Homo-oligomer: A and B are copies of this chain.
């Protein structure tokens, strides 16, 4: 058969240079030569045209000027009207367009999200892409039992410990709620403890009430070794749902935001409208409203403290309009997020949005396609912070440790796509082509150029399977989810390098009611 569609090369071709490859892959690459890293630059995907972005910008300014936002707290009304906003007789705050443009000029253009150990700091600017967890799932997904149960503080801590070991999870925003802690303040404080004690990566968290910020700060100052050290490198940020879409401030959350700014904690200005329910059903309309709401938040933040670190968190979600239920795994969701990423670049603001959400209840094929679709499009569009990127199931209601582990492979692949295609004289490989075709062996296996690229250019999955059917049978047809469970158990059986110094830990436990066992 000379004319069949491509199939793999024959075994004889495969063996060329195998010994040389084995030697080359034994030596790991230094960090700066690794094929993928946090902060790779996206931007090759542009679902919105320049004209489209300008229209969205103008519509958002119109919405702020004519509709405005209701329900600002008294302190917010004070800050905003002093800055130039207008309080209407209907109680809504309206934003003159010139004010919004002035505040855009004052806003920060980059934010550093610090890690506790200094090794995993994230620089948010331009098209730099970072992936991590987030959310408020209320269930843990038990994969082997195909079962949903209430999530606990131990589950949250375990998730953080797992994230600490996964190269492609760059930050850990609290992905699930500790439902075994009834008191809201204790829940917030224990969420911080459970995440920070599991990883040294940057942590995101939220507060149920403004009064909970001060005690949290006490804990964070202890962890940092003093308030000055905390303020120099705040390693926890506040995920703040400062609006209740459409176009209303979330009164208490705004007060939380004011507290966080006072204490030097970076704020994620999170607008989470549901397209078709709390935001227009069209993708452009949902983006427009989210942009308007986040611009209002931006004015608010910069009215309090010009240049305070804030992340432009346009997080519109999709609905299944047939049922009115949320859906996060759709193509519409991927477009919502990618379009938002473009608007962040339009303003040159550090931004974030949600991707990687599965509607599927379990880490099955559907979950795989859902998580990849929005994750890769978010990265390609240059989203700085891709939240909810791993582990999220049931349209955000369930979090799954095995899925989180598999998400590391999935996101690694997405990051390879973000890195893109380098076109240089070397990569065009014309000399190599001439050498191989005219003088050489007629193939590129085992050439020094191929070996040199083996680790620097290619991303290999940790658990993803690339065996042939024959090898797969010989290995006993390994099951992907069983492999993920084994990896989870291995990580959780090891002593964590992120755990606190015992003296510090005792000090924290003396001051706070920590629910996790020592």
Interface pair A288/B430, CB less than 8 Å apart: yes
Question: What is the predominant secondary structure among interface residues of chain A facing chain B?
Answer: mixed
In chain B, what residue has the closest Cβ to A149? B469
Interface pair A324/B247, CB less than 8 Å apart: no
Interface flags, A428-449, vs B, CB<8A=1, else 0: 1110111011100011110101
Does A135 sit within 8 A of B, measured CB to CB?
yes
Interface pair A332/B416, CB less than 8 Å apart: yes
**A359 contact from B247, B437, B451, B466, Cβ within 8 A:** B466
Task: Please give the number of chain A residues whose Cβ is less than 8 angstroms from any Cβ of chain B in the complex.
Answer: 170
Does A27 sit within 8 A of B, measured CB to CB?
no
In chain B, what residue has the closest Cβ to A445? B277
Query: Which of A78-86, A202-210, A490-498, A509-517 forms part of the interface with chain B?
Result: A202-210
Interface positions, chain A 158-186, Cβ under 8 Å from B, are 173-174, 177, 184
Query: Which of A46-54, A95-103, A218-226, A301-309 forms part of the interface with chain B?
Result: A46-54
Interface pair B315/A6, CB less than 8 Å apart: yes
Does A134 sit within 8 A of B, measured CB to CB?
yes
Interface positions, chain A 40-74, Cβ under 8 Å from B, are 44-49, 51-52, 55-56, 59, 62-63, 66-67, 70
- Contacts A6-B315, A253-B3 given; does A464 touch B397 at CB 8 Å: no
Interface pair B277/A443, CB less than 8 Å apart: yes
Interface pair B250/A62, CB less than 8 Å apart: no
Interface pair A2/B209, CB less than 8 Å apart: yes
Contacts of A253 in B (CB 8 A): 2-3
Report the Cα distance A1→B45, complex, angstroms.
37
Contacts of A174 in B (CB 8 A): 5
Does A373 sit within 8 A of B, measured CB to CB?
yes
**A433 contact from B67, B272, B454, Cβ within 8 A:** B67
In chain B, what residue has the closest Cβ to A3? B253
In chain B, what residue has the closest Cβ to A446? B324
Interface pair B371/A369, CB less than 8 Å apart: yes
Does A460 sit within 8 A of B, measured CB to CB?
yes
Known: A8-B397, A280-B449. 4 other contacts (CB 8 A): A52-B421, A56-B423, A246-B443, A285-B429
Report the Cα distance A287→B430, complex, angstroms.
11
Interface pair A410/B369, CB less than 8 Å apart: yes
Interface pair B4/A433, CB less than 8 Å apart: no
Interface pair B465/A366, CB less than 8 Å apart: yes
- Contacts A5-B239, A413-B331 given; does A282 touch B366 at CB 8 Å: no
In chain B, what residue has the closest Cβ to A438? B67
Report the Cα distance A288→B329, complex, angstroms.
36
Report the Cα distance A126→B105, complex, angstroms.
40
- Contacts A44-B45, A413-B373 given; does A464 touch B280 at CB 8 Å: no
Contacts of A15 in B (CB 8 A): 324
Report the Cα distance A318→B3, complex, angstroms.
20
Report the Cα distance A435→B44, complex, angstroms.
37
- Considering the complex of A and B, which 9 residue pairs feature the smallest CB-CB distances, nearest first? A368-B368, A285-B429, A331-B416, A6-B272, A280-B429, A52-B423, A369-B372, A365-B368, A368-B369
Report the Cα distance A376→B376, complex, angstroms.
9
- Contacts A44-B45, A444-B280 given; does A437 touch B67 at CB 8 Å: yes
Interface pair B208/A1, CB less than 8 Å apart: yes
Interface pair A421/B283, CB less than 8 Å apart: yes
Interface pair A464/B414, CB less than 8 Å apart: no
Contacts of A406 in B (CB 8 A): 365-366
Q: How far, in Å, is A301 (CB) from chain B's closest CB? A: 16
